[in-house]
Amino acid sequence: MATQRKSRPHSRSAPKKSGAQAGKKPAPSERPERPLREDLVLQACLEAYGSVRHEGRMADRALDFTLRRKANLYSNERRAVAERVYGLLRRQRTVDFLLSRAHPRFGGLETSRQDVLRLAASRVLYGEPHGLVARQSALTPPDAQALAALPEAAAALEALPAKERFPIAASLPDFLADRFLQTFGRDAARAAEAMNERAPLVARANLLKGDRDALAQRLTAEKVDVKPTPLSPLGLVLETRINAFSLESFRAGLLELQDEGSQLLGMLVDAPPTRVVDACAGAGGKTLQLAAQMKNRGDLHALDVDERRMEDLKKRARRAGVHNVRTQLIPHEGPEADAALTPLKGKADRVLVDAPCSGTGTFRRKPDARYRLTPEDLEMHVGRQKALLARFATLVKPGGRLIYGTCSVLREENEGVVEDFLARHPDFTVKPVAELLGPELGEKVGAGPYLRLAPHTHGTDGFFGAVLVRAK
């Protein structure tokens, strides 16, 4: 049975103290972690997982709601809950197939018993011994036997015809499995496997307050192990399992949590200290990156339709020491939306349209999103992306640049949208990303004129980026 890397909570032992340190209380990251209280962890997992799969809540909100009510859990237990719930959501379809083969009465079991088995089977798939998992999950003998039978069930999965096997092994709905095959071809299985891995925790150095090396030194002093991101010159991978929001470096605005792929998309903007528009700013991760590119000079207009996210952006900007951002809440669509943009028409040197999308590039972080997406949703996204790109293109001045990006890996949301736009707007042409990122980096992140990233090829989330230049 194929397995992935183990997803057990990281354990760190406290170093020996010198005489001078004997009276000091060890830092949180230096204390040995307590053994997991498996009964409490399992109960929290069942509550969070049930909220997602049986009540329709989004995974991050369900986990946040559950863990806020579980104040008695240790930090490593909270991590275990999150890892196990996310791990199961990533492998949901695979787990259900295997259990339906390994347990003769799985479909007829009471829901909570099914969920206990699902959580246990997922842990085995991620490399934990089935005997240990069965004991920690307090499984009945028949249920424990089902865990032991998972290799035979996996062999049955491998024996299926390729077209039938791929959606189950990839744990994707059939229509998304078809899209993955169209997008990645022979690499589809590898791409889906990488989507089912746990994503790294990546920070971007806030260049307004120091470079990456300085941030690395600061984090090391805070007992956080880091390594540079291989592609982005701005990023660090945080290898120590810790709540990054509790770090003094974070509170001081020295870093933002931002995937390396997102950082590379932000780099394509190459924002000058003049007038720049972040047209779908959201909570402002890329907005703050652009502010640093602009060295806090010029006018950076952050637009969005969500008032709550605009408020989040303002708070983040204050923490980051950003002063050149002008936030603007705009209507969703229609004449009111066009009217709100009138003062900026034809005046921006750069316009970034990081468009709302299917999120297929972020399944590592939002594994439940794959089960919510429908073909109709995908069609809706494509229509909205074309409309947004056309609307915000009007803000670009002659000679300026329009940067289109998504966190999708699907061609219809990426190259398809750009090709449709270029056919309707002959005054725009494509600028190859290698001309902006340099030939060495450009070759790594896009074989053609576009930025195209995926977990199995770059270790980042899936991202697409295109730079379109308006004729002078």
**CA-to-CA separations, 303 to 284, 285, 307, 322, in angstroms, rounded:** 10, 13, 10, 16
Q: Is 211 annotated as a binding residue?
A: no
**CB atoms near residue 20 (< 10 Å):** 7
298 conformational bin, left if phi > 0, alpha if psi -120 to 50, beta if neither: left
Compute the chain's Rg from CA coordinates. Answer: 24
Q: Is 354 annotated as a binding residue?
A: yes
Residue 164 CB partners (closer than 8 Å, separation 6+): none
Residue 204 CB partners (closer than 8 Å, separation 6+): 232, 234, 235, 255, 256, 257, 258, 263, 289
**CB atoms near residue 407 (< 10 Å):** 26
Say whether 357 is catalytic.
Answer: no
Q: Report the C-alpha gap between 95 and 7 in whole angstroms.
A: 16
443 forms beta bridges with none
354 forms beta bridges with 405
The helix (H) or strand (E) run that includes residue 400 is strand 396-406
From 45, 280, 357, 407, the catalytic residue? 407
Task: List the catalytic residues.
Answer: 407
Known binding-site positions for S-adenosyl-L-methionine: 304, 354
